[in-house]
Amino acid sequence: MSEKTVSALIATAGKRPETLRTTVQSMFDQDYAGHIEVVVVFDYVEIDDLSDLTVPNNRSLVTAVNNRSKGLAGGRNTGITLAQGELIGFCDDDDYWYPQRVSAQVKLWEQYPQAVAVSSSINVRTDGKDVLRSGSLVTTFEDLLISRHFEIHPSTTLFKREDLLENGRIGFVDEDLPSAYGEDYDLALRAARLGDIYSVQEPGALILWDRPSFFSGHWQSMVDGLTYILRKFPEFERQPKGLARIAGQVAFAHAALGNRKMASAFARSALSRDPKQLRAWAALLVASGLIKPQVLLDLVNKTGRGL
């Protein structure tokens, strides 16, 4: 597997040209001996050909326009269809791959060929500091039902390309998911249904959170996306804590939208399954007007954890 070509896919709206170049360069700078193909897909905006970057030996660069549905899911699927590599890794246009990321993951996959995907720990840069998020060597489908396992991040997970094709075992990124919210979680769940995800314990990527929150003004996307995921995966019913976690997130989003009745209903549903579900208690605080949602979200983000 060490000589397999790896395709690194970036879907971008073209709003961060400087960080995009840093991201691409981090892929060029991998210590992996095999070929790395970088595919940058622009989401219905003019292509930046990145011609100011020098493409090293054993690396290649492809730029294209999203030819599928507008948004992150369509952009990533466009990249999958264009990719020539046997392995595929996504990356957001403002994250960064550490130099050993690909080589360490390929080595781990050689040790555990039964893996359905290979990820790694991550560093999350938030509030001016880096917070390490590491997980276990093996993550199962049941583990993902219970917890999101944020360290299995789209910017640091490798898949087999054949699995991600439209008719592959896992299939495309779900373009029907509202606003593509939780598309990475959905993909990880579908992968883990087929087999375990293995993770390198050292961080493979730097995830940048020192930017305005995506969630501010996008609460309805969270409601719609997570509700969709709950319907798509009825297996959540067998993991009450996992179901309570998502119900708590939906409750919080409803509270942020001012939907007090829905916030209370989802919070009660969450707490009936897990009385310690903090998201549900936070939703009740926000719904009561005692605290603003962004204040709580900022506090959580400083710990390197998402909502």
| pLDDT bucket at 61, cuts 50 / 70 / 90 | very high
Q: What is the DSSP string of 276-290?
A: T-HHHHHHHHHHTTS
Tokens 């970088």 correspond to 38
> Cβ neighbours of residue 187 under 8 Å, at least 6 residues apart?
154, 170, 173, 174
Q: What is the pLDDT of residues 69-126, one digit of tens each?
A: 999 999 999 999 999 999 999 999 999 999 999 999 999 999 999 999 999 999 999 8
Residue 214, pLDDT above cutoff 60: no
* Cα–Cα nearest to 199, from 115, 148, 138: 138
CB 105 within 8 A of CB 278: no
pLDDT for position 218: 86
Residue 180, pLDDT above cutoff 50: yes
pLDDT for position 293: 82
pLDDT for position 1: 45
Q: What is the pLDDT of residues 219-275, one digit of tens each?
A: 999 999 999 999 999 999 999 999 999 999 999 999 999 999 999 999 999 999 999
b/e code 2-14 from CB counts within 10 Å (16+ = b): eeebbbbbbbbee
* Cα–Cα nearest to 37, from 98, 102, 125: 102
The pLDDT of 263-292, averaged and rounded, is 94
The Cα–Cα gap between 97 and 103 comes to 11
CB 107 within 8 A of CB 169: no
Q: What is the pLDDT of residues 112-165, one digit of tens each?
A: 999 999 999 999 998 889 999 998 999 999 999 999 999 999 999 999 999 999
Q: What is the pLDDT of residues 182-196, one digit of tens each?
A: 999 999 999 999 999
* Cα–Cα nearest to 77, from 183, 155, 156: 183
pLDDT for position 118: 98
